Amino acid sequence: MTTVPDKAPPGATSVLISSTFAFTICFAVWMMFAVLGIPIKAQLNLSETQFGLLAAMPVLTGSLVRVPLGIWTDRFGGRIVLFLLMLSTVVPIWLMSYATEYWHFLVLALFVGLAGGSFSVGTPYVARWFPKSRQGFAMGVFGAGNSGSALTKFVAPALIAAAGGSWMIVPKVYAVAMLVTALLFWFGSASKPEHLVKSTASFGAQLKMLRDPRVWRYCQYYSVVFGGYVGLALWMTKYYIGEYGFDMKLAALLAACFSLPGGVLRAIGGWISDKYGAYQTTWWVMWVCWVAFFLLSYPQTQFTILTVSGPQTFHIGLNATLFTILLFVVGIAMAVGKASVFKFISDEFPQNIGAVSGIVGLAGGLGGFILPILFGLLLDLTGVRSSAFMLLYGTVCVSLVWMHFSFRPESVAQGQRALAGKPA
């Protein structure tokens, strides 16, 4: 009987640390408009929808490149692909400081957004360095680089304050940070020829896995837990400013209460998925989000009723403290859910982790691109800020229904086999 080694090979820890650090910086750059977009919106007098498009634009390219990057990682190795990807973003980030028109920002944001593709490179790159029993945890640790979203909420406001309120210092500092990070990653990482996928299949042939209904299922789940995370990470600083009247520094700090656990705790999500299984973990994640979004959806409401003693006015709505606590819970749930979805992938597509993670990552990223635009559009149309959470509540409902009807036949079949005394 052949035993599968449970110990990671030499160099695996170094690869995991350097890759996670690189992804953290890439994600901080990818999410820079969560803070940077606020002074730009004021400078250019943008509408809510225009702000949503600006904030989401990097997410578009970061999502579209995930499929080819995942396939290239399978073929050429994660080390060289991630290194070149980071270098390609340095100049566009720097040029952001010299943009003056709305279209300038949109075009440059497309190139800056390439940094978001780092996820579909690092995930298969890291996973192949660890045995299957530890892949969920390893991918969770790497995915904790999502905390770069929180990092940008701490760093960007501080840089703007230090520069006397000028936002132009932020892209310059981020460009230098990206260059230094690329070099640190190169010298801290390693590669193994046996990790390369020797297949000569074309892009089209590898993309045929889209015919597998499991891939579409995981795309939908990930569009909720990752797309929702990205959309909220881009939107929450501005939400706090508009809803509760906070200044940008405090608003960014409170928004980080969502972004930080949503990134850091992804490693715990990987451990939970390894222990309890991807399905059970994802199911409970969706239920937690369903309850939280229901509560967050309720708008600030003031109503008057006529009583025998005269009119009485009541107010219903979440104060900043309760709102932040619920958002913190959502951040934890999404961190766990992001890891559990990729546990599904590593379990069911071990030979095509890069390609499948690229496809699923694309779906999640497109969710993160579309949601901020829809948030802005709904706010422009309704004037109700909590409409963003109403939309997210609907997406979670879709996931729960899909999970129920997708896995129910499998559960019934397993139960029938158990009753018949046959092995599952």
Whether 199 maps to a domain, the answer reads: no
pLDDT band at 293 (very low <50, low <70, confident <90, very high): very high
Whether 6 maps to a domain, the answer reads: no
Q: Full-prediction pTM beyond 0.85?
A: no
Distance CA 44, CA 25 (A): 28
**What pLDDT shows up at residue 157?**
92
Whether 198 maps to a domain, the answer reads: no
Which of 181, 235, 245 lies closest to 386, judged by CA?
235
Which of 308, 312, 261 lies closest to 146, judged by CA?
261
Whether 58 maps to a domain, the answer reads: yes
**What pLDDT shows up at residue 267?**
74
| Domain span holding position 380 | 12-191+208-419
**What pLDDT shows up at residue 413?**
45
Instruction: Return the bridge partners of 307, or none.
Output: 310
% of the chain surpassing 90 pLDDT: 41
Whether 390 maps to a domain, the answer reads: yes
Whether 374 maps to a domain, the answer reads: yes
For 377-420, how does the pLDDT look when each residue is reduced to its tens digit (9 = 90+)? 999 999 999 999 999 999 999 888 888 777 654 544 444 444 45
Split into its structural domains, the chain has a count of 1
pLDDT band at 134 (very low <50, low <70, confident <90, very high): confident
Average pLDDT over residues 122-147: 80
Average pLDDT over residues 312-329: 90
Residue 197 DSSP SS3:
coil
Residue 408 CB burial class (10 angstroms; 0-12, 13-18, ≥19): exposed
Task: Indicate if the pLDDT at residue 95 is higher than 90.
Answer: yes
Whether 30 maps to a domain, the answer reads: yes
**For the domain that residue 323 is a member of, what is the CATH number?**
1.20.1250.20
Task: Indicate if the pLDDT at residue 372 is higher than 50.
Answer: yes
Task: Indicate if the pLDDT at residue 149 is higher than 90.
Answer: no
For 194-239, how does the pLDDT look when each residue is reduced to its tens digit (9 = 90+)? 666 655 445 565 567 777 778 888 888 898 998 999 899 899 999 9
Distance CA 139, CA 271 (A): 10
Averaged pLDDT of the chain = 84
Average pLDDT over residues 30-35: 91
pLDDT band at 370 (very low <50, low <70, confident <90, very high): very high
Whether 202 maps to a domain, the answer reads: no
User: Please, are residues 324 and 44 in contact by the beta-carbon 8 Å criterion?
Assistant: no
